[in-house]
Chains A and B, each alone.
Chain A
Amino acid sequence: MTWSLGEIEVLARKATKGAGYDWGIAEEAGKAVRWLCAAGLPGTDVLAELLTLNDGRAYKDCCPDCAGAHWQARDGVLCPLITGTAICDRAGMLAQGDRITLGKVAFPLLLVPYIASASDGAGRAINIEWPGLTMCRADRSTTIDATSEAMAMGSCDTVTLQHAKTMTGTRVRRAYRGDISEQTRQVLADFAHRTYAPDTPESRLSGAGAGLSDND
């Protein structure tokens, strides 16, 4: 059974919110996972693992300090969803040719869609790499050269972002459907479930506002 990308985005967004992130970050996480699945990359799997790992972690512990060219978390490991949004918000810096290195970051594959968005927004070629993976984005086209270990990597000590001078790797072809393993689906569905309000008899009737007969 395959999934529509819309379903994947909604599930990823709700799961991210359910795991404790703010709505704005969750919205971009949904789009990021959709982008990865559309590129044939295991976006839902890494999201499920990240949310499990970061469940209950405070924002301030895993957000980057963006003051210099080396970004790291105050307290250990950077969250790629938060770091990704910070990169997008600073796309202009990269456009001017700066190089940014990230300290230890969890599931770096999740950074890739944010780099694509930053490149599209700034109109500049950007390259991201860590051991085993290089991805370039230029002119709305992506190339990637990666081992499956590097894609699934749970954490990486150093990730580098910089202006891309050449495109290396295989061009990513877009897909229109995604697959989710049952295990991953269950993890994400459990997180998403936290965003749903338990029903009460009152809410069943008044919340949706029906109550009149439809048998007419």
Chain B
Amino acid sequence: MQHPEHDMTIPPRDPAQVMRLARMGSFHQSRLSFMRILLRRLKSEHWTFEQHLFNIDARGVGRAVYCAHGPDRSYSLIAFANDLPPEKRSDRVIATEWDATFTLFDGIPSEADLDRLQGNIPKQEAGRVSEKELSVSRANRSVRLWEHVVTALSEGRQPDTAKVRDVGYLMRTTAVYGSGKLGAADREMIAERPEFRAPFQVEMLSVFLTRGFVMDLVEHMAHQRAPDTAVPLDPDLRRCFGIGNSTGLGMAPFMVTHPVLINNWIAAKETALARVRSLPTATQDDADLFCQFSARAVINADTWTSSHTIQIEKLTGLRRDMTKLQTHLKSADLTTDMPWNRLWLWAEGNLTLEGQEQTASLLLEPYGDLVDDLSECMDADEQESWRIDGAMPVAVLKQHIEAVYDWALDIDWTKDTANARVWYTSEEKLEPRIGARFEEPIEAYEQPLCPGRDAARLYNDLCACSDDLVAEVLLRAPQHRHILRRVQIAARHPYAEIHDNTIDAKMLPIDLLRAKLSFFGACHFDPRSDRWVRINMFKHAPFPHELANTSAEGWAYPPLPESAQ
């Protein structure tokens, strides 16, 4: 990952510091987030976009197709809009109907494709799709904002900016399924296409196009209601709408079940931070750019609302941190003597985890030329890392456990609080859930999502056995096979493993969700409980039709007020 041309005086941060749940649960989007990678590519390759079909009636029922044309291929977002009774509106996976459902189609769909998909996409998990479909997703309206915007526009007024800011989106996606789910194309069918090599580009493209559709739909509904008086949204206000997402436990195990992929994401970001920290000097322009982004991060923190106790406290810390940073920047030397490393060390010593991780992301902003190439290192060949080295001596395996899982060997696993949770799959919806080991009859269904405990068990067994080689251990004790594979992977990939107990009584699943969603590029994390979070995606981003004439950079923070620009 380290390029010879990059001086890395400062090494990437220690995994023992980075891979803690509290810190991962404070990650922010950055230049290396997947939606930013996507927009950079769409812009640099001059992708074009068109509304191919928009056939939606006054009740909001019908279908639409949006096409994205790249240098080699075209893709289409197919949207099915619905008139959903309020009592059926639920973000949970148990829902059976949604305000709108979507698929990203490989190419441009025929009428027959649309008819086939009409019978399947609105059913989501109860439907089936084919290898021509790359994703399946759905979204519900924000009731708070939808009606307000339709009413305002239909009466010829712009909606209230404070209301727009408070909610941030008109529709909230729930699941966005890709990678072979429900019969869709497997990732390996498309992973060789340059546009989809980076992780989650299919899903991000689908969501980017979905945001555009939702805005067109709300303007269409206003026009249907009052054709004589309706107005479209003001373009600047329009860009303040992101697309929401509501994510529950279904996403949490991903952070544990894809160790090499997660390693590559984190390693890319940590390498980027190390490159910036290693810069001996900075130009005044770069320093000014950093200050500008920091000022925009202040607005971002101020406009980020949450009603969840944990996040409210973190936001208070973040706002205080951003104020401290602004004050510090007024007198700090940002151009000489490894300015960014000094700034980083100041942040570590003075800011909360929220503020530190925000600073880490901000430090990458002026340095696209230095860090954007790392986006090419974020995918993973998970097949190749899967094989166990059976010839590894047990003594070496023990050393790896001591090095990577030292934190787990220090935990007293005889305590109930250390084993309090069980990750399991529910019979009803086949979705991951978490329960209380000592209160519910679920232990027999435990999923292997507790590497710390399992590594400690393996280590204890290794200390008591007389096996010489890993192959002998595995033949005698096959129950260790899962964790032994992880140990070998983690020994080769420093950021593969979370250094925290994922079944502890105090573990917060939202930390896992936030870490993943920050790499997607989400902002404004708003937990609804300790295992359920709402976010905003593509807020302030240009719309597909604007991309050709605007920058694909720098949109991820709110703009400064015109007076400050």
Contacts and interface: CB of A to CB of B under 8 A. Distances in A.
Interface of A: 1-7, 21-25, 27-28, 31, 59, 63-64, 66, 82, 85-86, 88-92, 117, 120-121, 176-177, 193, 195-200, 202-204, 206-212, 214-216
B529 A5 contact: no
A64 B94 CA distance: 45
A95 B314 CA distance: 55
A207 B434 contact: yes
B93 A208 contact: yes
A200 B189 CA distance: 39
A207 B426 contact: yes
Interface string B176-202: 000111011111110000000000000
Interface residues of B, number: 68
Contact of A210 (B181, B387, B484, B528): B528
Nearest to A196: B427
Given A88-B390, A89-B388, A214-B92, A1 B183 contact: yes
Q: By CB atoms of chain A within 10 A, which of B144, B442, B481 has the most?
A: B481
B564 interface: no
A210 B90 CA distance: 10
Given A4-B131, A121-B387, A209-B532, A89 B186 contact: no
B16 interface: no
Given A200-B440, A207-B426, A214-B89, A24 B480 contact: yes
B163 interface: no
Contact of B478 (A6, A59, A209): A59
A176 B191 CA distance: 12
Given A196-B427, A215-B143, 17 more contacts: A2-B131, A5-B188, A7-B181, A64-B475, A88-B387, A89-B471, A92-B391, A176-B131, A176-B185, A177-B131, A197-B425, A206-B435, A207-B426, A209-B531, A209-B532, A214-B89, A214-B92
A25 B181 CA distance: 23
Q: Which 3 A-B pairs have the closest CB atoms?
A: A24-B481, A89-B390, A6-B180
B430 interface: yes
B89 A215 contact: yes
B60 to A, nearest CB: 16
A4 to B, nearest CB: 3
B388 A4 contact: no
A211 to B, nearest CB: 7
Contacts of A211: 529
Contacts of A7: 180-181, 183
Contacts of A88: 387-388, 390
Contact of B484 (A24, A120, A200): A24
A22 B478 contact: yes
A92 B389 CA distance: 9
B142 to A, nearest CB: 7
Contacts of B442: 197, 203
B445 A196 contact: yes
A146 B90 CA distance: 53
A4 B185 contact: yes
A90 B92 CA distance: 46
B427 A22 contact: no
Given A176-B188, A208-B532, A212-B528, A199 B92 contact: no
Given A31-B383, A216-B142, A203 B426 contact: yes
Given A176-B131, A196-B425, A197-B425, A89 B448 contact: no
B410 interface: no
Interface in B141-199: 142-144, 179-181, 183-189
Given A196-B445, A199-B426, A214-B90, A207 B144 contact: no
B387 A117 contact: yes
Given A207-B433, A208-B248, A198 B528 contact: no
Q: By CB atoms of chain B within 10 A, which of A66, A92, A206, A216 has the most?
A: A216
B140 interface: yes
Nearest to B485: A24
Contacts of B14: none
A5 B426 contact: no
A5 B482 contact: no
28 contacts: A1-B183, A6-B180, A6-B186, A21-B478, A22-B478, A23-B448, A23-B482, A24-B474, A24-B483, A59-B478, A85-B478, A90-B391, A92-B390, A197-B426, A197-B442, A197-B444, A199-B426, A203-B435, A206-B435, A207-B424, A208-B92, A208-B248, A210-B92, A211-B529, A214-B140, A215-B86, A215-B89, A215-B90
Interface in B76-120: 86-87, 89-94
B246 A199 contact: no
A27 B482 contact: yes
A202 B185 CA distance: 36
Nearest to A24: B481
B530 interface: yes
Nearest to A177: B131
Given A86-B475, A88-B390, A207 B427 contact: no
A209 B249 contact: yes
A209 B530 contact: yes
Q: By CB atoms of chain B within 10 A, which of A63, A66, A206 has the most?
A: A206
Contacts of A6: 179-181, 186-187
Nearest to B533: A209
Contact of A25 (B183, B471, B478): B478
Contacts of B187: 6
B428 interface: yes
Given A195-B445, A203-B433, A208-B433, A89 B470 contact: yes
Contacts of A63: 475, 478
A89 B183 CA distance: 33
Nearest to B431: A208
A27 B431 CA distance: 18
A3 B509 CA distance: 31
B399 interface: no
A176 B186 contact: yes
B475 A197 contact: no
B471 A209 contact: no
A18 to B, nearest CB: 10
B478 A197 contact: no
Contact of A89 (B386, B475, B483): B475
Given A23-B482, A89-B474, A199-B427, A208 B531 contact: yes
A84 B391 CA distance: 16
Nearest to A199: B428
B303 interface: no
B189 A176 contact: yes
